[in-house]
Amino acid sequence: MRLDTITIKSNIKDYSVYFENNADFLERIASKENTIFVVDSNVWEAHQETTLAKIPQDKLILLPISEDLKNINTVCELYEKIMSFAPRKNLTLVSIGGGITQDLTGFAASSLYRGINWIFIPTTLLAQVDSCIGAKTSLNFKHYKNLVGTFYPPSEIYIYPEFLKTLTREDFYSGVGEMAKLHLMSGEDNTKIFIESLDKIDKQDQETLLARTQNCLKIKKSYIEDDEFDTGKRNMLNYGHCFGHAIESATDFRISHGQAVVLGMILANKEAVRLGLLSQTMEEFICQNVLKPILVVDIPEINIEKTIDAMRQDKKNLGKGLALVMLTDSYQMQKITNMTTEEAGEILLQCQRLSYQTI
């Protein structure tokens, strides 16, 4: 299946997403002068003798990756490793890994020499369908998720499905969570296509995954080009994230991002029902046909007080109340900024009673 290049218009610099059927593109990139590869050490271990075999090791930095390393201290360590190559400002960083690798290297690229060229090769489904475009780089501060960051897009992005074969089931379904969110946001027709594709997605059918990935990027493209710096329409992409990010933080990231977003959408839908924005019938349909089938982890114990505290620190909050993005019956997105802590607590109390078998 041939997929066309997607070009993203940006006030910073336009950039393109390429879809690759083989790994030859890596050899082309490696042949460029002044290029350094920053690779997730787990990805390197899984692919060093196959897909990544052509990467010259004298141009390689291996980066241990975990959520608790996504901070400014790790970026400083990365600066030191990059500077050991005695680079010039015309350096190109090639980032290979998932969203955490993207955040760390993107932040470094945005700040080193006040901005150097970088290329991103996402190796997780989550990064391929969502985070690879949008230009955001985000770092955690203490237990607050994505509190620090910049806007700085890569110049090129390469989607290569072969990397997905080594993902764990939870990591794969973390990406499916964001895939579901974007299909829900784009309307009834795309939601039906997603539901009909679930069996093939589960089997990692390459044609289906590529088609759904391209669709996700086109949906997100429409949001980020209209509102690149996240002051209005782009806020709607936080559907599922208001509760999801807080649950991640409050549980010390024991649940993957995309799975937390699935849980966040379930909770946001319950609040939408309470507010009369979403019918009970619609909420149950989405839960049973879209969200429940892709929630593949046990729900961790939710500390309501810690979760609400994390919600208070959410950068989407502009007033005294808590922000929440919700879906309506017409598949439109609506944001409120006046949810009370009591209302959030009532919704989270329901979460305490849930398990992924009984939602």
The phi, psi pair for 37, rounded to 5°, reads: -95, 130
d(CA 213, CA 156): 17
Both structure tokens of 10? 């940006």
Element (H, E) at 210: helix 206-226
Residue 130's Cβ-side half-sphere holds a number of Cα atoms within 13 Å equal to 23
The tens digit of pLDDT for each residue in 123-181 reads 999 999 999 999 999 999 987 888 899 999 999 999 999 999 999 999 999 999 999 99
What single string gives the DSSP state of each residue in 267-283?
Answer: HHHHHHHHTTSS-HHHH
Structure tokens at 115: 């901005």
SS3 state of residue 323: strand
Average pLDDT estimate for 291-305: 90
Element (H, E) at 248: helix 241-250
Higher local confidence (pLDDT), 313 or 340 = 340
State how far the Cα of 37 lies from the Cα of 53, in Å rounded to an integer.
Answer: 13
Which of 228, 223, 244 has the alpha carbon at shortest distance from 323? Answer: 244
pLDDT of residue 12: 94
| CA–CA distance, 5 with 27 (Å, rounded to integer) | 19
Instruction: Give φ, ψ of 310 to 5 degrees.
Output: -65, -35
Whether 227 shows a pLDDT value over 80: the answer reads yes
Q: In whole angstroms, what is the distance from residue 190 CA to residue 122 CA?
A: 24
Q: pLDDT band at residue 357, thresholds of 50, 70 and 90? A: very low
Question: Residues 323-334: pLDDT tens digits?
Answer: 999 999 999 999
319 — pLDDT class (breaks 50, 70, 90): low
Tokens of 91: 């350096």
* 341 CB-near residues (< 8 Å, 6+ apart): 308, 311, 312, 322
Judged on CB neighbours under 10 Å (0-12, 13-18, 19+), 118 is: buried
Q: For residue 69, name the pLDDT band (cuts at 50, 70, 90).
A: very high
Q: Which residues contact 103 (CB under 8 A, 6 or more apart)?
A: 70, 137, 138, 139, 149
Residues constituting the chain: 359
**Averaged confidence pLDDT in the chain:** 93
* 320: three-class secondary structure by DSSP: coil
Beta carbons within 10 angstroms of residue 324's beta carbon? 29
18-22, 87-91, 188-192, 250-254 — most confident range: 188-192
Asked if 112 contacts 79 with a C-beta cutoff of 8 angstroms, the reply is: yes
Domains within the chain, CATH numbers bracketed: 6-166 (3.40.50.1970), 169-352 (1.20.1090.10)
- Report the DSSP pairing between strands 15-19 and 6-8: antiparallel
217, 157 contact by CB (below 8 A): no
Q: CB under 8 Å to 87, separation ≥6 — which residues?
A: 34, 36
Sign, CA torsion 301/306/311/314: negative
Alpha-carbon Rg for the chain in angstroms = 20
d(CA 58, CA 61): 9
> Residues of the chain with pLDDT > 70: what percent?
96
Retrieve residue 43's tokens.
């990805």
The residue among 131, 65, 133, 57 whose CA lies nearest residue 104 is: 65
Max Cα separation, the chain?
A: 61
Cα–Cα dist 279/113, whole Å: 52
Q: Is 297 helix (H, G, I), strand (E, B) or coil?
A: coil
